[in-house]
Structures are given as C-alpha cells and as structure tokens.
Amino acid sequence: MSKNRVEAVERALTLLECFTQERRTLSLTELAEATGMYKSTVLRLAGSLERFHFLIRRDDGRFAIGQAVWRLGLLYRNSFELESLVRPILAELVQHTGETASFYVKEGHARVVLYRENSTRAARHHLDEGVSLPLDSGASGHILRAYSDMATAELAAVREQGFAVSLGERDPDLAAIAVPVFGKGQALQGALTVSGIITRFTEPDREKILTELKLAAQKLHKQLLKTARHDGDART
C-alpha cells in the first residue's frame, strides 16, 4: 500500500464514486449509507466538493455531480486525440451492421466507453460515453486484457485469432464482437466493438460483423499512422 495517501481526499473521492447512471442524485442519508460515513462527515466533505464545483446541492437537498467533473471528463477524453478519427468509423459501423458501435480503452482494472454510436433500431444495446464496465468480461474487455500486461494463457487464443466474441457473458440478452486497434509501433489504442441483441448475432451475422470490424480497424490504423507521421513532420 502506498504511503502517499491523504485520507480526507480519498473520502471525498469515495463520495463522488457513489454516483452512477442509475443514481444521478443522492440524499445525505443515501450518501452516508453508501459510504459508511457519519452524516456530519459527509456534509463537511460535500461542502468542500461544492466549493470546487465537483458537487452541487439541489433545491430539494439532494446532491448531484457538478460541472467540474464534466470539465475534467472532457479533458480526459480529448487527451486521446482520437475523436475526429474514431467517430466517423463508428458511424460507418452502425450503418453497415445496424448495431451499436463503440470504442473502449483500458482504465486501470476497468474498461471505459470512450466513444460510441448507438444503433437506430428500437431494440438495441444502448451505451453512454464515459461508462465504466468490468474488464474481466465482455468482448472488448478480453481484447484490452489480451493485448496488455494483464494477458493470461487463457487469452492467448484471443491474440492468435485477433478478435473476441461475447455471447450473453455480461448480460444474457446481449452479444458483442471486438477487435484491437493499433497505432504507431503496434501500440494498442483501444478496442473497436459492435454490440447488440443476442438473437441478431447468429453465426452468419457474426461473420458479417467481424468482417466490417476488421475493415474498420485497418482503416483506423492507417489513419493513426498517417496522423503520427504528420505530427512527426510538424516537430522537425
């Protein structure tokens, strides 16, 4: 355990981690119950977070995430410098497959939906950008682990075949296929994924989707190399 820790900071961050897509506002009682802290402690920490706009307290007394979190989230996403390249690729995948297309990156022991384009179908796999999901499940999770220092013998097959398939693994109603995206020096940039309702992922469907994913990953790889060369020329 690192000695470079400040307990009060960690407690404040624990408050922020209580908020999810399903729990966008929380009362003082709910925050105290979720963290195991006294209400008085929660109030003091929340007051500091409010002053720096990480939390806001609404008129009904419930707490919500503040604009400072959104600002930092944008800085995090923009730090990858991939958005202008990835979004058109995702739109093309949705057009060609009819399913939701996403780009995941590894963040610690989780995978984050950095960019996504949701399917236009009424029955679809809906994803929100910025959502954090388990790294040890799902097609994109297998790709991100297989091409990282977290790779295991079990993931050797994923590296060998160059893609991962998940059929009802995280959710019995959902399926996904993912492929790696490489940049300069074959460095892994993320996982390109197509996901949707499992009944639409029959073997013929999977073959078609995988073909589209591989073409999209190759296209994105070439664009990343081109961008890297331009950046190198600009610095010389």
Determine the pLDDT at residue 3: 67
Instruction: Note whether 164 and 220 are same-domain residues.
Output: yes
Q: Is residue 114 located within the same domain as residue 57?
A: no
Side chain identity at residue 122, one-letter code: A
Which residue among 46, 72, 98 closes a domain?
72
With respect to residue 111, please indicate whether it lies within any of the assigned structural domains: yes
Q: Is residue 1 part of a domain?
A: no
Q: Which residues contact 129 (CB under 8 A, 6 or more apart)?
A: 77, 113, 114, 115, 116
User: Residue 181 domain-assigned?
Assistant: yes
> What's the pLDDT tens digit per position in 90-105?
999 999 999 999 999 9
pLDDT digits 0-9 by tens, 189-204:
999 999 999 999 999 9
Query: Residue 51: which domain range?
Result: 7-72
Helix (H, G, I), strand (E, B) or coil at 132: strand
Q: How many domains does the chain have?
A: 2
Arithmetic mean of pLDDT, 69-90: 81
d(CA 63, CA 87): 33
Q: Which two tokens stand for residue 49?
A: 């977070």
pLDDT at 231: 55
Q: Which amino acid is at 37?
A: M
Say yes or no: 123 and 191 in one domain. yes
Q: Where are the beta strands (DSSP E) in the chain?
A: 25-26, 55-57, 63-65, 100-107, 110-117, 132-134, 164-167, 174-182, 188-197
**Tokens representing 188?**
């892994």
Structure tokens at 236: 């010389």
- The fraction of the chain above a pLDDT of 90, given in percent, is 62
* Predicted model pTM: 0.70
- Residues 8-62: tens digit of each pLDDT: 899 999 999 999 888 999 999 999 999 999 999 999 999 999 999 899 999 899 9
Neighbour-count burial of 111, counting CB atoms closer than 10 A to its CB (0-12 exposed, 13-18 middle, 19+ buried): buried
Nearest C-alpha neighbor of 127 from the set 138, 136, 117, 137: 117
Kindly state whether residues 87 and 68 are assigned to the same domain: no
Q: Please indicate, yes or no, whether residues 132 and 226 belong to a single structural domain of this protein.
A: yes
Do 55 and 166 fall within a single domain? no
The answer to whether residue 2 sits within a structural domain is no
- Res 143: pLDDT: 95
Q: Is 178 within a domain? A: yes
Exposure string (b/e) for 193-221, b if CB count within 10 Å is 16 or more?
Answer: bbbbbbebbeeebbeebbebbeebbeebb
In this structure, what CATH number is given to the domain that contains residue 92? 3.30.450.40
Q: Are residues 87 and 183 in the same domain?
A: yes
Let me know whether 65 and 180 are in one domain.
Answer: no
Q: Are residues 134 and 224 in the same domain?
A: yes
